[in-house]
Chains A and B, each alone.
Chain A
């Protein structure tokens, strides 16, 4: 907890100082993408890491946020200071509706049903031409008036700090949530649903609260994206954003707050670096996903965190460590089934 708080504070402080060192459009663009990715990854991580379910249609909330901000700005002319928070609120409301439906299901069924919601929304965005302008999307979303006449790099600087504020706010809310009683109860549900229920925790209610919070953060990210790119099309509901989100959370380490931040930074740099490989980069990306699942099952922060913990607890656990491990992998268990134990050892 302390390590995580210090890590996040240091990361935000460092991010605030970055423009002093790298004041050019390209570096700031990378920085903005990192801020945006941190929000997305934090949002997905709240569900994957703290509810323990896997929403494969999480782009639904990102997309709803992006479309809300785009439409509020383009149709009603609301300024960015209203559209982005409103995007979060609209996404949270839809999170309440979708979560109330999907959280009744678990495991693979939850995965598929959330994906179905995202696909339905994508098709609606594609076909409801009166509202969303169909496949053409909503373009020309206004930038804030205060930077209207500014140069490119100044505009980027504005978006960088706006992104930093939003990302830091998302992380702060997530931090307060995760270390509140509700967050601890959610972890209890994730670890053992039935024990949690037996001490009076209501998993559905907890899941729903987390879902709404995650949806709100995803919506904020969507609103920020809409204003920065100044164009929103049906592809915001698409699978490619989902894949990026998954890799960020997975590579960073789910169930920690610092993990998705690390993952977001890694993935944004990786995508930039792989640009040199042109068309081959997607194939490489696929292989990296496979590699991470097999060799780094708990992500980077999980790896570091485990080293950290085992170092602190070594004197107490060294005596009984071997016994515990034996109990976890009984001799009768099929050879193929206890590979998971190897990751824990």
Chain B
């Protein structure tokens, strides 16, 4: 029983981290419908940049986080306006190829600059273990879960309550109607992608203080993020959280009780089954045809 509780706790923490790393993709893929294979690379850029600022230049962690957020936002805006805007409205295929090309470029350029050594973001969070009955969690992880929840809530408020969020939703529902009522849709696309890149980068830096950051992990992070978004349903933050938690729990329990070898395959198997049984995701209300 103790093992079970510990595994569930691990799974929930892992799930929260999956949800965090998939937040940006929920916006970009779920809402904007850009199949962004460079998502994981944006996450890696955030992590590496955070490492460079905190560990190499010795900046304050939170100052570095703000800088990472701003830089990733600008980078995302530029990627959208310079590259993705050119293939907008041509279906998903050119976008997929474009982002794959971008991810190859970013991953290998990062490898050239940083090398293959895994690095860690220097963080102020204590890694002292907290003992809650039979369950042990480090303080840093618990704190990150809280930050994670705050970020998800903030992103959700932004999309649901603000003018910018409303403009975003209008643009992705019907671009022409949105333009008719005076929304500058090209900018909205840029802002949404920038927000997605920001969230990816912030996740990279936050999780980079617990796990390691490697230039070559972007592909796996993209894949897991896609798994989370599809499990939870397109474009809903609550769905992303649910998808992340499902993935985290299943992986932790499977790894604990069955075998560690196939842990990574669980998510993909779940996606295959989900897309067959409920093609619009487990929690999506929209009966959208996949």
Contact = CB atoms under 8 A, between A and B. Distances in A.
A293 B223 contact: no
Interface in B69-122: 83, 85-94, 96-98, 100-109, 111-112
B5 interface: no
Contacts of B146: none
A117 B102 CA distance: 24
A119 interface: yes
A287 B105 CA distance: 6
A115 interface: yes
B85 to A, nearest CB: 5
Contacts of A297: 87, 90, 94
Contacts, number: 148
B1 interface: no
B112 A283 contact: yes
Given A108-B33, A120-B269, A336-B186, A290 B175 contact: no
Q: Is the interface of B mostly helix, strand, loop or mixed?
A: helix
B276 A104 contact: yes
Interface in B124-178: 175-176
Interface in A67-126: 101, 104-109, 111-113, 115-117, 119-120, 123-124, 126
Interface in A267-306: 279-280, 282-283, 285-290, 292-294, 297
Bin the interface of chain A by size. Answer: 35 or more
Interface stretch (B16-24, B53-61, B248-256, B260-268): B260-268
Given A56-B96, A293-B94, A337 B88 contact: yes
Given A108-B92, A283-B109, A337-B88, 7 more contacts: A101-B272, A107-B91, A107-B290, A108-B35, A282-B111, A285-B104, A286-B101
The 8 A-B residue pairs with the shortest CB-CB distance in the complex, in nearest-first order: A289-B101, A286-B105, A286-B104, A282-B108, A116-B268, A337-B89, A127-B261, A290-B101
19 contacts: A54-B92, A104-B276, A104-B279, A107-B92, A109-B275, A109-B279, A111-B35, A116-B268, A123-B268, A239-B219, A279-B112, A280-B112, A282-B107, A294-B83, A294-B86, A337-B88, A337-B175, A339-B88, A340-B89
Interface of A: 48, 54, 56, 101, 104-109, 111-113, 115-117, 119-120, 123-124, 126-127, 239, 243, 246, 250, 279-280, 282-283, 285-290, 292-294, 297, 332-340
